[in-house]
Amino acid sequence: MNLPSLPSLRSSGLPTLRLLAVATLVALSTALWYLVSHQLRDESDIRWFSAPPNCDLHRAPCTVTLGEHGFLELTAMADGRIQALEPLPLTVAVEGVEARSVRVDLVGRDMDMGLHRFPLEWQADGRFHGEGQVPICTEARMDWQARVVVETSDGRLGGRFDFTVERSTP
């Protein structure tokens, strides 16, 4: 009976060991990505206010009343309808609240599409401006929500604006 020598056992097990190490690294990276993603999305301290159902960001700015604090208005300046992968100029006006910073997060309403965060810059006109982009989706129609988060000295206030993007056909 011939038994394999010690060097041949080591060489035959090495590819398997490397494969297991790579699989472990991939699993750890995935777990870390989920943890970081969850931390970035922490919205537990935001007081949310929703836009009225007749709000249509494709056609006009939409306004949300921030309770007794004031209001915010979101304008998505698209040429025509909001489209995936097209630059989307965003403007937020805040009244009745001293805003330290403003950001817009685009999230899928019924499907996890990841976190798409766009910080806006305060401008001399008293509004916050920036540019966003709706990601591409394999669905012909995708429901999105623009979440505007306003940082104030009294905490965070947010407005939710629903809109739909339909894939254009060539």
Higher-pLDDT residue of 22 and 88 is 88
Q: Which residues of 62-72 are buried (b: 16+ CB within 10 A; e: fewer)?
A: bbbebeebbbb
Given a contact cutoff of 8 angstroms between Cβ atoms, the answer to whether 116 and 136 are in contact is no
Q: Are strands 141-152 and 99-108 parallel, antiparallel or unpaired?
A: antiparallel
Residue 16's SS3 state is helix
Higher-pLDDT residue of 68 and 170 is 68
Given a contact cutoff of 8 angstroms between Cβ atoms, the answer to whether 155 and 66 are in contact is no
35, pLDDT greater than 70 = no
Looking at residues 100-104, what average pLDDT do you find?
A: 96
Looking at residues 79-88, what average pLDDT do you find?
A: 89
Looking at residues 15-36, what average pLDDT do you find?
A: 70
- The residue type found at 166 is E
Average pLDDT of the residues of the chain: 84
* Residue 38: band (very low, low, confident or very high) from pLDDT cuts 50, 70, 90: very low
How far, CA to CA in Å, does 2 sit from each of 5, 12, 166?
A: 9, 16, 68
| Long-range contact set of residues 79-83: C-beta below 8 Å, sequence gap at least 24 | 81/165, 81/166, 82/57, 82/58, 82/134, 82/163, 82/165, 83/134, 83/165, 83/168
Higher-pLDDT residue of 91 and 26 is 91
* Residue 47: band (very low, low, confident or very high) from pLDDT cuts 50, 70, 90: very high
